[in-house]
Amino acid sequence: MKQSYFLSLILIVVFGSAAIGQSLESKYAFENGLYKTFEDLKDNKVVTQLPYRQDTKSSKDGVTRYSLMHEGKYKAIKGIFCFVNADHIYLNANNYGRKGYYIRSHFVGKYAYFEDRLGKEKFAVSRTPTGITSSTGAAVTSKIWGILLDMETGKVVKTSRWRMKRLLENHPRLWQKYKDGNKSTQEVHDIIGELNKSYSAGR
């Protein structure tokens, strides 16, 4: 009798743990397709009856960017927060001040992690007498930054030092790792991955 009781407990623990693992994985599993808003993404409310194609827009500076077009037409689809394809989220760059393209997630958890090349400032733009726009500002130093989509709130942020400090204030080991490191994109990528795991583990 005691043996069957303990066996039942073991089965409950094992299968219960498996179920928790499945629920954590499925929490960020979304149907392939287009999502007009972040709320639609959270609710897995995909746009239907809108044929589209995904094209590679550019990939010459260390970042691959994508366009979202109407199928069979050379016309961009507008008003889309993101689209999902093969377990990747493609985030509209409009969400962090850029235009005309999407970037693909490296991984998804509490924070979906993306990368894009961004300058520290915007170019100063003016018009010539002939109506042609030209840059009047100095060349802008750019670098590849981590871009985060908070999968609970929908907020999109750049992984600046200030932002990393805020994100890691309750994770002293990770904050120390960030401070002691070289602040490279790969390092930030790895730290956000560890941060996601800590949330999944309930720490």
Residue 121 has pLDDT above 50, yes or no: no
Per the CB < 8 A criterion, the answer to whether 111 and 159 are in contact is no
Backbone angles phi, psi at 67, to 5 degrees: -110, 155
Q: What is the pLDDT of residues 126-185, one digit of tens each?
A: 333 333 333 334 445 789 999 999 999 999 999 999 999 999 999 999 999 999 999 999
**For the chain, which residues make up each domain, given as ranges?**
29-158, 161-203
48 vs 169, more confident = 169
pTM of the model: 0.78
CA atoms of 58 and 61, how far apart (whole Å): 8
Per the CB < 8 A criterion, the answer to whether 91 and 147 are in contact is yes
Residue 175: what pLDDT?
A: 97
Residue 142: what pLDDT?
A: 86
Per the CB < 8 A criterion, the answer to whether 33 and 60 are in contact is no
Sheet harboring 65-70: ordered strands across?
33-35, 82-85, 88-92, 102-104, 65-70, 52-58
DSSP 3-state assignment of 44?
Answer: coil
Residue 27: what pLDDT?
A: 81
Q: What is the pLDDT of residues 63-83, one digit of tens each?
A: 999 999 999 888 999 999 999
Of 25-34, 43-52, 103-112, which range is least confident?
25-34
Residue 119: what pLDDT?
A: 81
Given pLDDT bands bounded at 50, 70 and 90, which one contains residue 85? Answer: very high
Per the CB < 8 A criterion, the answer to whether 115 and 63 are in contact is yes
With residues binned 3-state (H G I as helix, E B as strand, rest as coil), the percentages for the chain, rounded to 5, are: 35, 30, 40
Q: What is the pLDDT of residues 1-22, one digit of tens each?
A: 444 443 343 333 333 333 333 3
87 vs 54, more confident = 54
CA atoms of 179 and 173, how far apart (whole Å): 10
Residue 10: what pLDDT?
A: 34
Q: Which residues of 123-137 are buried (b: 16+ CB within 10 A; e: fewer)?
A: eeeeeeeeeeeeeee
